[in-house]
Structure 1
């Protein structure tokens, strides 16, 4: 497709330098589907998200008042000379939907709102307005005071009432935490002796004094000698004013305080508080509402024989059939809207979900598809939709339907930019931009831009791998033992019995929602010798980097300390050695109060993060700042022994050789972060379980991943992978396939055997796609004809 350079039908990018981009110039056609490809870390996200989407959203934010902007996250102008003809960008990424305890699939897609309207109109018995079916709104009534202006300020008393559907026992959360006081109290001690073992309640702390000096408890009295009244005051007293050292304070019993502070809608941010929360409480369904979140009136009213909780707990396909069966003219527009939302979710491969599924339990791919549903059928046009690998977590069977939805958005008159590795999506594009030629410092350039059919002949890494067909292993390993799973019935599993082979590479396959995770996580988690590396997001602040997250910095600091005869804490930017001006961050953040804060390199340390005297100490001729500026590959040549060498080898094995040790985690792509987590968690274990380890990987990087998995098996570790990627599945020694479909249509073992046996004799959905993927050139490595081919 050729578009005039000065046309308003083209997004023009000139001299983009975000992250590793090397002065990129590129033109992207508007109202077309453009796929951006390249090896992991090549700069795809830097171009699409860090440059185009970031500048679009920054310009939109600047249209708001300064007051409104003060509540928005900072957004500095990306490093690019010119960006022309931008439209409003809507980013649909893999960041998980907020894990707010009140957020569900139904609330995130507005499907529950439609359903509440239907029940408010048709329920028997009639309950009331739509709010009467909301688990986020409590029923209340009373009298309130309002100040009005009429000549002079007057106080006016008004009656008020709200009708909500919230369960009063669990306050609409559906669960209740049962806190065991003996997990944080030592009854054989007094308060003065440190009877309370809880965050922020150390003896002598201000909060501790509110208990010890409240006047109601003797701080030197052993807890075992407390009266019932004293126990109730210590644990369950509601908020009450007390005086401590002559200062008025609000006193709350310990259980009351913990429940209010840490067991509400939002998960605590501090890791030590989360660990404390998990230690002191067990959480289960609310006995009052049985986990439905609703009060009695809202949870028992029916429409056509079904209650709202019954509708919310159904799989979306079954709910759609019920909605389409409603023949009620009074709610016809509502049922039409709800049916449209449900069909869209089914079309993106989410038919196995239910509306009451908590969004915090969704994978990154599931969350992205839930967000996508909100934009389908939108009246907005001529906007730019930006997607980050929308096929993540999808079985090949579901990718075709996802492709149709991308085309639907394009055909509505919008520009669709997609970062992807899947050949099926690349082939669908109107325009392809390939970034490379390598990763990190070896990437950041446009190596191809044009029609998809020209990519194979471009000579780029993507082009070479594009037509590569996965090949079956010519010689599979034989199992050495088996892990028995008996009567597995988690979620949709149907009393499954299976013997998982050990001593080999096992691929657990099946369409999304077939029961793979339920089988593996539900049956193997907690078993001795089993390490599970799941898809939960890695945690870290602006200070976190690959060196700290992987555990590499500890042996490096120890080596520096031993070589120079000084404390190891000097070589931590978070401790004694930190620059006093930037406090070890390398940048100084300036809070501009009413507008966005900005960061500038620290003038004191020049961005190196350490005190000058710390940088006088060297190891292998390098300062600690210079070590943190090394790439993983360069560091592996410096640290060749001990724990540091082991950690670096793992980082290399997952393809992160180009990443700098001190690079902030916030600058890593989703695929890079997942591989970093994989490298950090791999340790000595008899069995390692990996949940879609190829997620976010380029075709070439997937080849490297498979080699790493085989290396683990050859080293004596049994490896189990939950995978959709046929390049990984084809290289397994054994396959366990679940299905035949998703949700209640899945939950059974439909195949067990080798990949060759699956191709030869199975007709499951996985078998059909694996058979189609394996061709006459199966097993041919596209690098075979290159003189510089690697091992």
Structure 2
């Protein structure tokens, strides 16, 4: 039989033709390579039936279909459509959704294939009848999401949507033609899904003549050399567990910095000043040596490396330390000590030196709390690298989740436990990771994730407003005799609404001046001199201070001012207790560090009336904290537990780990070498577990 071949990338039998294969063919950011269905994203936003109907014990009449409900009930338009549908399919709208037949639910959600008779009675009593196909709740939401030009409507519908792998490319992001190209049975996306250590091993495997011929090797040799070198740099900074396809938004600050460090090492530059801000974030003590060797490598080729750091191992490895202090905020800003590690350790004024020398330590608890007999049990956790593990978290104590970077800690706690509890308590739309079940949810009444994100994204948000302290302060000013005689209400002392605020700057205190081709400049308002208020509001004083003076006072100063006002004093005292006595009540949220923002949130929780059944989750709360800050943080966490609550920490800091009542250690390694439950028990017993890296390092701090 005659067979026809083509010299081009085409097939004359199935009419498929490919363009020339080039680098952009394998880029999901380029139309030449991206999947046409999802445009290279790898996922599509679709309406999730479980989010549209979260409570299946409700009836349609009672507003079970949340995607169509407003104020807890269906609109008359949507109700008329469902009434028309119920007459055709003979189902009732006054029974719980869970009792309806699967075929009926499919029709309600996905619509009908044929036209049905519909009727609608208007408010004026007119009845309209017509024949049309019922598009279904999901079809209606997806159509409106696609057609609307309103961002508000789109965001409203997104509450009922979730991201699912694209059906066109199965989440691979590229066209089928691009995925058809393989090297040693691997597509470019399957290689991208490998961890950095796996990718390095795969590069070595390519030396096998069965995979690459001598001709192929000669073509690829320079590329393979470049790939191998770059992967080795990433391995050297302790990132072996990251997958090459990991999105940048999911990286911790420390991981992102270490990737940039690896890039700089690869550049081979000399005579450069490198500035790093806490590159050890998210790094287990077992991996410290890798980062230290990398930093020393930069130094040894003729560069200067300047690091802002709180990690003890990195401080001890430094050639020169500059210690600032002695305190924080207005109590700091001075060079307390400068020189070698030994010189810092001998300085009596340096808190850092005292902790390094052992003169000051974070004490190990003499006894461990006994848990209250209640648990949270996670069964069959198998998201990402978790190997279908069962984990029991005791309640009523301080629990620390430990393990090397990439062992699965954040996946277990943030992706599975927190998202599932958020669904249960707050009807959150984020889907948790894969697991079989979580038992014991009835033992807690809420979950709070206290992270280091800002307490607000504008200068209007500050510690006074976030903690709720500003409301009783405004009410107090409204009770001053002069304010009462003028008829002023608490709103007069708000810088967010008209009345008492300065209208020239709308209560900001600063005027933003737009600069052409340059960053905008903020200058103090000339009208109010940055006080935020107008003259009338500033004339009202409490103990000789205006409302603006109060906002400019520190927490410590405000405690003295309001010592006789319990409602205000209680909230201020918690800020003082978490070590934030130096911050100003009106300090803009944008000027607070991550650690300070986290402690403001902790203070807010402490000032609330304890239920004794709250679960607090903190992911690496020691980020950005010095030894003294960690000591204060620990005291706050112990107070939360003493009130009967449960605290779960994801942490690498050995001083916090040794202070926990219970440790759950995951690992033993990172990526595919982790994901197992290595140890659970007290910190003391962890030191006897040979498979636990955390246990090995705990030996030194539990002496």
Q: TM-score range by the shorter chain?
A: 0.7 to 0.9
Corresponding residue to 2:41 among 173, 197, 210? 173
Q: Against the structure 1 CA distance between its residues 226 and 334, is the aligned structure 2 distance closer, same or farther, given a 3 Å change threshold?
A: farther
Aligned residues: 575
* Residue 499 (1) aligns with residue 385 (2): no
Provide the C-alpha distance between the structure 1 equivalents of 2:320 and 2:417, rounded to a whole number of angstroms. 44
Cross-structure match for 1:143:
none
Provide the C-alpha distance between the structure 1 equivalents of 2:227 and 2:128, rounded to a whole number of angstroms. 58
* Residue 458 (1) aligns with residue 350 (2): no
* Residue 688 (1) aligns with residue 581 (2): no
After TM superposition, the structure 1 = structure 2 runs for residues 193-232 of structure 1, keeping only pairs within 5 Å, are: none
After TM superposition, the structure 1 = structure 2 runs for residues 76-225 of structure 1, keeping only pairs within 5 Å, are: 128-138=21-31, 164-179=32-47, 183=67, 188=75
Q: Against the structure 1 CA distance between its residues 389 and 608, is the aligned structure 2 distance closer, same or farther, given a 3 Å change threshold?
A: same
Cross-structure match for 1:478:
370
Contact preservation (8 Å) 1:347, 1:402: yes
Cα deviation, 1:380-402, whole Å, max 9, x if unaligned, reads: 33222111111111111011111
Provide the C-alpha distance between the structure 1 equivalents of 2:262 and 2:575, rounded to a whole number of angstroms. 36
Q: Against the structure 1 CA distance between its residues 231 and 604, is the aligned structure 2 distance closer, same or farther, given a 3 Å change threshold?
A: farther
After TM superposition, the structure 1 = structure 2 runs for residues 228-267 of structure 1, keeping only pairs within 5 Å, are: 254-256=144-146
Contact preservation (8 Å) 1:434, 1:449: yes
Cross-structure match for 1:662:
586
After TM superposition, the structure 1 = structure 2 runs for residues 374-389 of structure 1, keeping only pairs within 5 Å, are: 374-389=263-278
> Secondary structure at the residue paired with 1:385?
strand
Provide the C-alpha distance between the structure 2 equivalents of 1:585 and 1:745, rounded to a whole number of angstroms. 52
Contact preservation (8 Å) 1:236, 1:256: no
Contact preservation (8 Å) 2:450, 2:616: no
Q: Against the structure 1 CA distance between its residues 504 and 301, is the aligned structure 2 distance closer, same or farther, given a 3 Å change threshold?
A: same
* Residue 296 (1) aligns with residue 170 (2): no
Deviation at 1:575, TM superposition (A): 1.5
Q: Against the structure 1 CA distance between its residues 228 and 314, is the aligned structure 2 distance closer, same or farther, given a 3 Å change threshold?
A: farther
Q: Against the structure 1 CA distance between its residues 587 and 274, is the aligned structure 2 distance closer, same or farther, given a 3 Å change threshold?
A: farther
Q: Against the structure 1 CA distance between its residues 760 and 592, is the aligned structure 2 distance closer, same or farther, given a 3 Å change threshold?
A: closer
Deviation at 1:189, TM superposition (A): 5.4
Deviation at 1:533, TM superposition (A): 2.1
Provide the C-alpha distance between the structure 2 equivalents of 1:230 and 1:495, rounded to a whole number of angstroms. 42
* Residue 593 (1) aligns with residue 516 (2): yes
Corresponding residue to 2:459 among 511, 519, 542? 542
Provide the C-alpha distance between the structure 1 equivalents of 2:154 and 2:351, rounded to a whole number of angstroms. 44
* Residue 767 (1) aligns with residue 683 (2): no
Cross-structure match for 1:247:
none
Contact preservation (8 Å) 2:275, 2:305: yes
Contact preservation (8 Å) 2:562, 2:569: yes
Contact preservation (8 Å) 1:471, 1:774: no
Provide the C-alpha distance between the structure 2 equivalents of 1:660 and 1:531, rounded to a whole number of angstroms. 29
Contact preservation (8 Å) 1:470, 1:773: no
Q: Against the structure 1 CA distance between its residues 653 and 373, is the aligned structure 2 distance closer, same or farther, given a 3 Å change threshold?
A: farther
* Residue 410 (1) aligns with residue 332 (2): no
After TM superposition, the structure 1 = structure 2 runs for residues 56-71 of structure 1, keeping only pairs within 5 Å, are: none
Provide the C-alpha distance between the structure 2 equivalents of 1:224 and 1:648, rounded to a whole number of angstroms. 63
Provide the C-alpha distance between the structure 1 equivalents of 2:232 and 2:571, rounded to a whole number of angstroms. 47
> Secondary structure at the residue paired with 1:424?
helix
Using the TM superposition, name which of 744-753 and 361-370 deviates more: 361-370
Provide the C-alpha distance between the structure 1 equivalents of 2:231 and 2:251, rounded to a whole number of angstroms. 17
Provide the C-alpha distance between the structure 2 equivalents of 1:223 and 1:136, rounded to a whole number of angstroms. 52
> Secondary structure at the residue paired with 2:345?
coil
Provide the C-alpha distance between the structure 1 equivalents of 2:584 and 2:522, rounded to a whole number of angstroms. 20
Contact preservation (8 Å) 1:188, 1:224: no
Cα deviation, 1:622-653, whole Å, max 9, x if unaligned, reads: 32211111112222334455554443333223
* Residue 330 (1) aligns with residue 219 (2): yes
Higher helix proportion (structure 1 or 2)? 2
Cross-structure match for 2:550:
627
* Residue 552 (1) aligns with residue 469 (2): yes
**TM-score normalised according to structure 2 size:** 0.75
Deviation at 1:285, TM superposition (A): 1.5
Q: Against the structure 1 CA distance between its residues 314 and 760, is the aligned structure 2 distance closer, same or farther, given a 3 Å change threshold?
A: closer
Contact preservation (8 Å) 2:362, 2:631: no
Q: Against the structure 1 CA distance between its residues 274 and 395, is the aligned structure 2 distance closer, same or farther, given a 3 Å change threshold?
A: farther
Deviation at 1:769, TM superposition (A): 0.7
After TM superposition, the structure 1 = structure 2 runs for residues 499-648 of structure 1, keeping only pairs within 5 Å, are: 499-525=392-418, 526=421, 527=441, 528-533=444-449, 535=451, 537-538=453-454, 539-563=456-480, 564-565=483-484, 566-576=488-498, 577-639=500-562, 644-648=568-572
Contact preservation (8 Å) 2:254, 2:279: yes
Contact preservation (8 Å) 2:27, 2:34: yes
> Secondary structure at the residue paired with 2:379?
strand
Contact preservation (8 Å) 1:706, 1:728: yes
Across the aligned residues of Structure 1 and Structure 2, the Cα RMSD in angstroms comes to 3.3
Q: Against the structure 1 CA distance between its residues 543 and 380, is the aligned structure 2 distance closer, same or farther, given a 3 Å change threshold?
A: farther
Deviation at 1:499, TM superposition (A): 1.8
After TM superposition, the structure 1 = structure 2 runs for residues 281-292 of structure 1, keeping only pairs within 5 Å, are: 281-292=161-172
Deviation at 1:342, TM superposition (A): 1.9
* Residue 362 (1) aligns with residue 284 (2): no
Cα deviation, 1:557-612, whole Å, max 9, x if unaligned, reads: 34434554533332222221321112212122222324343222111111111111
Provide the C-alpha distance between the structure 1 equivalents of 2:127 and 2:544, rounded to a whole number of angstroms. 59
Deviation at 1:420, TM superposition (A): 1.0
Greater Rg by CA: 2
> Secondary structure at the residue paired with 2:30?
coil
* Residue 736 (1) aligns with residue 664 (2): yes
> Secondary structure at the residue paired with 1:608?
coil
Q: Against the structure 1 CA distance between its residues 405 and 644, is the aligned structure 2 distance closer, same or farther, given a 3 Å change threshold?
A: farther
**TM-score normalised according to structure 1 size:** 0.67
Name which structure has the greater RCO, CA cutoff 8 Å, separation 6+.
1
* Structure 1 alignment gaps of length 5 or more: 1-124, 139-163, 192-218, 239-252, 263-271, 776-791
Deviation at 1:703, TM superposition (A): 1.2
Deviation at 1:237, TM superposition (A): 13
